[in-house]
Structure 1
Amino acid sequence: MIASLGDLPLRDDLRGLTPYGAPQAPLPVALNVNENTHAVPDEVASDILDDIAVALRGVNRYPDREFSTLREGFASYLGHGLEAEQIWAGNGSNEVLQHIMQAFGGPGRTVFGFGPTYSMYPLIAQGTGARWIAGEREPDYTITAEEAAAQVERADPDIVLLCSPNNPTGTPLGLDVVEAVYEAARGIVVVDEAYQEFAPRDAASALTLLDGRPRLAVSRTMSKAFAFAGARVGYLAADPAFIDALRLVRLPYHLSALTQAAAIAALRNSDIMLGMVDEIIEQRDRITATLEALGYQPHESWSNFVLFGGVADPHATFEALYERGILVRDVGIPGHLRVTAGTEAETTAFLDALASIGSAS
């Protein structure tokens, strides 16, 4: 007899839930999960393969538990005088966030973020036994420092998650907001900069705020700008004591030797890997301009995607694009859809398909 989920002694707070999962469909143009749709350049792929081949010869042994060389690489890449002891990494930024919630959240504790924001935040919070509290943004999805601090003071959370630029809206977040939230919070403050490489070149990173703020962490990912989504590598920078806290909850040898080798090689080629960022930004801005011309209302984006409103029937538009081989994302915001900025050809295919639908309200 095959058991159902209801037959198992599942935690009460997990009953009735469904697993997270964005649509994965074999369509010619998939622009729904904010991937970097550019392939890793051939010369970089060859270099990565060489390093993986070397690592493979010692794969019978456990990897470096402290992933020391990789941490040095991340510190060098981030700059700002960071040292390896201030770096942590995991299998994607979601695992890094999970480590934070395991160490500083958990049963009886709360995690706060300004909605709408990254859909995995409440799921990771719940998965680790914490309670999610959703704050509010302005109608244009911005947040002022004064209002952010006031909301944090009222909620009094153990962890605050600030997505900058925000997903799914692309909205930038001023450093004044981060400073105000940190002063208002008694617990941990995490600035998730997964899309920071797509922000304007002169946009300051929250990395500049780390000194003297031991409860602050800034997380990044290699999934987006580095076209490394399939490699699953995320990382953060924080005070060394913060890193020590994460060691308490990580699984031993959690980053494989092959993952470490691939990431080290990619970082070594960061100039080439990031060469595609400018093209993605160009396509993002092209999407924004064309959406406006078609009668939609795109929101300001400092990321590799565009959230746009003015969609008369998001479900119908999603389906119409799907039928034309284009996969976008319905993020559940009324009258809106989200599209990733792909290659020039993918962007053209999306814009041409959307124009043929004429679904602007």
Structure 2
Amino acid sequence: MSDQLRRLARLPLRDNLRGLEPYGAPQLDVPILLNVNENTHPLPDEVREAIARDVRACSASLNRYPDREFTELRERLASYLGHGLAPGNIWAGNGSNEVLQQILQAFGGPGRSLMSFPPTYSMYPLLASGTDTRYIAGSRAADFELTADSAARQVAERAPNIVFLCSPNNPTGTALGLDVVEAVYAAGEASQAIVVVDEAYAEFAKAGTRSALGLLPGRERLIVSRTMSKAFALAGARLGYLAADPSVTDALRLVRLPYHLSAVTQATANAALKHVDALLANVEDIKAQRDRIVAELRRLGLRPAPSDSNFVFFGGLSHPARIWQGLLDAGVLVRDVGIPGHLRVTAGTEAETTAFLRGLEDLLAAESDAAPR
């Protein structure tokens, strides 16, 4: 037992939190950080200047509480998403994790359940524990795919109160077909399940991939969550949001903390949304590096999953922990997601991607040379 767990064991924690460890990816001082799916491109100068200007302006009224309804931000987010959405369809929080937590606070809790389909975003069960919501782990096929029939059958059998569908999925990177969302929504009718499609990486999806935003009309129990952390390169600003029927945003008002979005956060996000084109200009370059990684990994004899995100999940490694350490020693940090034979790497800049690929190729060659003949 770690020292941290020993200290926690002395406290009167809730039973469902005992033995758990907090979420956390390694934060190491390494030249090339490709482990947490950040946008590694810096903010364009014009965006940084706009944010600085607007934050400076809002500082004159920091002695007052911010706009509790973050009106301008909801208007700008609705305009960005399109699909006929209005400000009443929009909700935002301090990162999409807070938005998901608020959904669980409103619709989960004791005696209720959340279902998702591992391997998927590792925060889902932790968010469930934090809200005392029972977590149900669904299953995927051996290749990590999730079909409409399989997902719907599992939802019908387990009757969860909430379902989280991650698309593109983290850590595998592959987008779900909308038939999966439609089937899960229909299967959840009996239990009146809230269905959340977590589209944190939607802007990186391949051409022709359809967003679940188009399914919102007429589906009161459907929620689509997004973030400004990834494509918008604003991970440090902590702004996540969702689109749903206005009744859902009304429900979230019941559980949000007073004035939960600071004036600085709102000013930062609003300034960024005035420069959408500049912020998203790097997305195509990131997608190109992602596709380059996929092609090179295949050339090296590995098995990358099809990716609609800004990262690549790949298998075929005999010693993933050894490869992870070797890359770290070479100054490149990637993610060991705990799945045997697999690692995950963020698509960075061209130079960062080159460093990863060269380091990996060298390590694989050294493994091959050391193998018995």
* Shared fold per TM-score greater than 0.5: yes
Match of residue 278, structure 1, among 280, 284, 287: 284
Instruction: Name the CA distance, whole Å, in 1 between partners of 2:102 and 2:240.
Output: 12
State the Cα deviation string for residues 243-297 of structure 1 (Å, max 9, x = none). 1000000000000000000000111100110000000000000000111111111
Is the deviation greater in 129-138 or in 6-15? 6-15
Percentage of identical aligned residues: 65
State the Cα deviation string for residues 153-191 of structure 1 (Å, max 9, x = none). 011000000000000001110001100100000210000
Instruction: Name the CA distance, whole Å, in 1 between partners of 2:251 and 2:279.
Output: 32
* Secondary structure at 2:136 match in 1: strand
Matched, 1:191 2:197: yes
Report the equivalent of 2:338. 332
Match of residue 319, structure 1, among 313, 317, 325: 325
Match of residue 352, structure 1, among 349, 358, 369: 358
Match of residue 70, structure 1, among 53, 69, 73: 73
State the Cα deviation string for residues 64-96 of structure 1 (Å, max 9, x = none). 000000000000000001000000000000000
* Secondary structure at 2:138 match in 1: strand
* Secondary structure at 2:69 match in 1: coil
The Cα shift of 1:106 comes to: 0.6
Paired residues in the alignment total 359
Report the equivalent of 1:301. 307
Matched, 1:171 2:174: yes
Give the ranges of 4+ consecutive aligned residues of structure 1 lying more than 6 Å apart after TM superposition. none
Instruction: Name the CA distance, whole Å, in 1 between partners of 2:23 and 2:198.
Output: 20
* Secondary structure at 2:282 match in 1: helix
Matched, 1:33 2:39: no
Q: TM-score, normalised by structure 1?
A: 0.98
Report the equivalent of 1:130. 133
- Correspondence list, 1:81-230, <5 A: 81-185=84-188, 186-230=192-236
Q: Partner letter of residue 299 of structure 1? A: A
* Secondary structure at 1:136 match in 2: coil
The Cα shift of 1:202 comes to: 2.2
| Structure 1 alignment gaps of length 5 or more | none
Instruction: Name the CA distance, whole Å, in 1 between partners of 2:274 and 2:206.
Output: 23
RMSD across aligned positions (CA): 1.1
Q: TM-score, normalised by structure 2?
A: 0.95
Report the equivalent of 1:237. 243
* Secondary structure at 1:89 match in 2: strand
* Secondary structure at 1:115 match in 2: coil
Q: Partner letter of residue 206 of structure 1? A: A
